[in-house]
Structure 1
Amino acid sequence: MAKTFKYIILGGGVSAGYAAREFAKQGVKPGELAIISKEAVAPYERPALSKAYLFPECKFVMLLCLLSILGFFISVEFSIKIKISACLARLLNIFTLMSQLDFAAPARLPGFHVCVGSGGERLLPEWYTEKGIELILSTEIVKVDLAAKSLISAGGETFSYQILIVATGSTVIRLTDFGVEGADAKNIFYLREVDDADKLYEAIKAKKNGKAVVVGGGYIGLELSAVLKLNNIDVTMVYPEPWCMPRLFTAGIAEFYEEYYKNKGVNIIKGTVAVGFTSNSDGEVKEVKLKDGRVLEADIVVVGVGGRPQTALVKGQVEEEKGGIKTDAFFKTNLSDVYAVGDVATFPLKLYGELRRVEHVDHSRKSAEQAVKAIKAAEEGRTVEEYDYLPYFYSRSFDLSWQFYGDNVGDTVLFGDNNPASSKPKFGTYWIKDGKVVGVFLEGGTPEENQAIAKVAKVQPPVADVDQLAKEGLSFASKI
């Protein structure tokens, strides 16, 4: 017999968690909503996997501090010659040292379940139970019949719905997809789910002071190169483009990050790709062969060469465009009972008057909330405002933190301190199209400054003098 629900969310990622929270706000009844996920855990904030999840443990440093304190008390007890002032000075030095150390432990569940990524309540598994929302985990859906309003799992279970929200997200592109020689060796990692992060974390501990090759110069490449280096791994980053993050960064922006990473000890090889891997007798990766003929030693390989929206289950059953499922401004597809959110949705980007597909956690959160609001409003004969999204991207690595808002098209103006050797670099870039600022990037901004550049990207103020804009720099944004 089929399990029947009024609403089913297909996928258990970020979008699913934020949609569930919005359903709860809107007054979903117990038993009406189910989330079906092939992962074994409740929805979590996926960006944590490439950042704090892989932070090195600080147990050894903590032990040294504790031994220092213990040594202090022993010296007080057994040394009658020690002066009280010297004791106090030594104790003060110890606590000063401890206050300067980073005791941040690696992020672990349940610490980063949604919706903590946006400053909201952490939705633990018991939250779903309390709200009467059924979490159907470790369940892979292998067939979707939109005409019959049914889903079939790999285990043969059938689930029926009245309204379906497709929130299947993206899947990583694997080198094995292209038949790359040796790409199935052990210790070649991709990062998408918490299980992937667990395996990589164990490899980092097993290969202490080893060598890693990171294939790709995008988000995953930059963030994982940084976190591997923090774990005292020797890192080489390889990518075919002329500079890192070419889909967003200009050459000027990229130059700063490449030099900063080099100063941190990360080796960067540009303009070539990995074409093969060799393994040792245990089947573990040993070398990476590059197209330019070089061969790199590697105990760990991390691949981050992009992703694909997971639309295969509904292909041919809904309209598609630009690689995703075509929706309206409420994330409804051409079928009135099917919605698509997050990475898989190609939606009207109102600000620019065109259809786009956006792969980012911020959009995953907001599109999910918009879809649920629209669903509940339609049931009650109400309407909601159209989705009016401002593209937003961000990243954090080492001591760096940048944010970008808007569109990266047109001419550019670089401003600020972009010296990689600066103690606190702060610089940015404006994108100007048709005499207006349409996008802004800022490294090292305060929360107030980041809000200012977001406003600029939304308002799109006119620019009369590009040279003057370069001189004003960040102060231009603060005036809008």
Structure 2
Amino acid sequence: MAERIFKYVVLGGGIAGGYAAREFAKQGVKPGELAIISNEAVAPYERPTLSKGYLLPDSPPRLPGFHVCVGSGGERLLPEWYVEKGIELILKTEIVKADLTSKTLTSAAGETFKYQILIIATGSNVIKLSDFGAQGADSKNILYLRDIVDADLLVETIKQKKNGKVVIVGGGYIGLELSAAINLNNLDVTMVYPEPWCMPRLFTAGIAAFYEGYYANKGIKIIKGTVAVAFTADSNGEVKDVKLKDGRTLEADIVVVGVGGRPLTALFKGQVEEEKGGIKTDAFFQTSVSGVYAVGDVATFPMKIYDELRRVEHVDHARKSAEHAVKAIFASELGETIDAYDYLPYFYSRSFNLSWQFYGDNVGDTVLFGDNNPASDKPKFGSYWIKDGKVVGVFLEGGTAEENKAIANVARIQPSVESSDALAKAGLSFACKI
């Protein structure tokens, strides 16, 4: 097959790939210089939609409605946009070999792509139950959610199993958002996770108690402190039971697994420096190999605000890191410099009528404030994290746009606080007055 040559290649057609493409266009990339290579069949889209609105029973969003960059209030980049900008969007193409020395990528079909500058935006793949050796994990209707193909299969299976029983394996982001969406489809939902409370990487026990109570009030059953170890199937090969480590057995017409992901870095093993599970970069996302950048989930980068290397799996960082890398590339070509990436960690989620945001670092002592009664009509509560006498992180459920800006500001400037008691008494007003 003929070799294809580009000045710039972005490997990965997820959110980071889409936002990189937009920034390349802003920077004046010339027609024919840039290729986006993706193993998906569609142009880059806002992936968070899949675990939120996509599964709702009434008026769910569908493509082309949520192509990037609508998730940040920007222009929607339809497939024709790439054509208009002279950007080669190469879909349904799996890269199986990357040689950073010869600057060559090779596809499963044997195509080769040469580049001068490479941005690795490969993201993560889901961890599967088969990775743990779970018996029966290959049964039909044991589903995962990573891309739109997975989402379409889940939607179709929900339709087929009306009023059925669904077991959600995992109590993190995906588990909580999918439990809510599937519950709204009038299916019987049970969540199972090994931790003492949901979303333990971020939530405190006090925060988690609200969501667990709220979900229970919606009819979602929660089983904590155990894991799914085996699955049995019926004569059609479809899952019918989930066996738990504590000895219980749950009926299931559908099992949806959300137990995390792993960054897709295997193509580059031994060719770039790695750290903390990702590809090590500088503050402009350049790796240890000149002309090779890594962004989004796969990048372990210097987090300026905390003066340490971190890897962040979140859509907000995927967008911003991709844009920053492209700006850095063009600045370098012009012999100019840009500011180092200065990222404030930000996470958010929406489910049912709930919406929370978190900014900063969840380390140190915590102070819970506000109305966290799961039965409240309009719950509004939050938590501060205090380290060395300073507020370093803030969580808020039910905040307005202005209040969410206020908590972001607090996490950024890290104000001193007199005492936990004073902070608890002040509650949200503390953030709003900073």
What is the TM-score with the length of structure 2 in the denominator? 0.99
Q: Matched residues in 1 for 2:324 and 2:360: separation?
A: 20
Q: Structure 1 residue 177: deviation in Å?
A: 1.3
The superposition leaves residues 59-79 of structure 1 with CA deviations (integer Å, 9 ceiling, x where unpaired) of xxxxxxxxxxxxxxxxxxxxx
- For 1:175 and 1:466, locate their aligned partners in 2 and report how far apart those are by CA, in whole Å: 42
Q: Which residue of 1 aligns with 2:34?
A: 33
Distance apart, 1:465 and its partner CA: 2.0
Q: Which runs of 4+ in 1 moved over 3 A?
A: none
Aligned equivalents of 1:250, 1:326: Cα separation in 2? 30
Residue 461 of structure 1: aligned partner: 415
Q: Tell me, in whole angstroms, the C-alpha distance in 2 between the residues paired with 1:465 and 1:265.
A: 39
Report the 3-state secondary structure (helix = DSSP H, G, I; strand = E; otherwise coil) of the residue aligned with 2:422. helix
| CA distance in 2: counterparts of 1:26 and 1:114, whole angstroms | 18
> Does 2:392 match 1:438?
yes
Shift of 1:290: 0.3
Match of 2:117 among 163, 172, 178: 163
Letter in 1 for 2:32: G
Distance 1:261 1:194 in 2: 26
Please report how far the alpha carbon of residue 154 of structure 1 lies from its aligned counterpart in structure 2 after TM superposition.
0.4
Residue 464 of structure 1: CA displacement? 1.1
Residues 141-180 of structure 1 aligned to structure 2 (within 5 Å): 141-180=95-134
Name the SS of the counterpart of 2:306 in structure 1.
coil
Name the CA distance, whole Å, in 2 between partners of 1:157 and 1:386.
Answer: 36
CA RMSD in angstroms comes to 0.4
CA distance in 2, matches of 1:18, 1:168: 13
Measure the CA separation in 1 of the matches of 2:331 and 2:3.
Answer: 28
What residue in structure 2 maps to residue 117 of structure 1? 71
Q: For residue 353 of structure 1, report the CA deviation from its aligned partner.
A: 0.2
Give 1:302 deviation, angstroms. Answer: 0.3
Using the TM superposition, give the Cα deviation of residue 178 of structure 1 relative to its aligned residue in structure 2, in angstroms: 1.8
Equivalent pairs: percent with the same residue?
79
Matching residue's letter, 2:6: F
Amino acid at match of 1:23: F
Distance in 1, Cα, partners of 2:293 & 2:189: 42
Deviations 1:408-441 (A, max 9, x none): 0000000000000000000000000000000000
User: Partner of 2:402 in structure 1?
Assistant: 448
Deviations along 1:192-218, one digit per CA (max 9) or x if unpaired, are: 000000000000000001000000000
Q: Secondary structure in 1 aligned to 2:209?
A: helix
Q: Which sections of structure 2, spanning at least 5 residues, go unmatched?
A: none
Work out the CA distance in 2 between the residues paired with 1:315 and 1:49: 30
| CA deviations over 1:366-423 (Å, ceiling 9, x no partner) | 0000000000000001100000000000000011000000000000000000000000
Residue aligning to 2:92: 138
Partner residue, 2:294: 340
- Secondary structure (helix, strand or coil) at the match of 1:159 reads strand
SS in 2 for 1:351: helix
Question: Structure 1: 5+ residue runs without aligned partners?
Answer: 58-104
Alignment partner of 1:323 is 2:277: yes
Aligned equivalents of 1:478 and 1:431: distance in 2? 16
**Cα deviation, residue 335, structure 1:** 1.0
1:10 & 1:465 partners in 2: Cα distance? 49
Q: Which residue of 2 aligns with 1:312?
A: 266
Tell me the distance in 2 between the aligned counterparts of 1:274 and 1:107.
32
1:403 maps to 2:404: no
* Structure 1 CA distance for aligned equivalents of residues 409 and 138 of structure 2: 46
In the alignment, the residues of structure 2 paired with residue 464 and residue 374 of structure 1 have an alpha-carbon distance, to the nearest angstrom, of: 41
Q: 2 CA distance for matches of 1:155 and 1:36? A: 13
Name the SS of the counterpart of 2:115 in structure 1: strand
2:200 is aligned with what amino acid? Answer: P
The match for 1:46 is 47
Task: Look up the SS of the partner of 2:6 in the other structure.
Answer: strand
In 2, the alpha carbon distance for the partners of 1:465 and 1:163 equals: 51
Where does residue 208 of structure 1 map in the other structure?
162
The aligned residue for residue 137 of structure 2 is 183
- Whichever residue aligns with residue 201 of structure 2, its letter is R
* Alpha-carbon shift at residue 343 of structure 1 (Å): 0.1
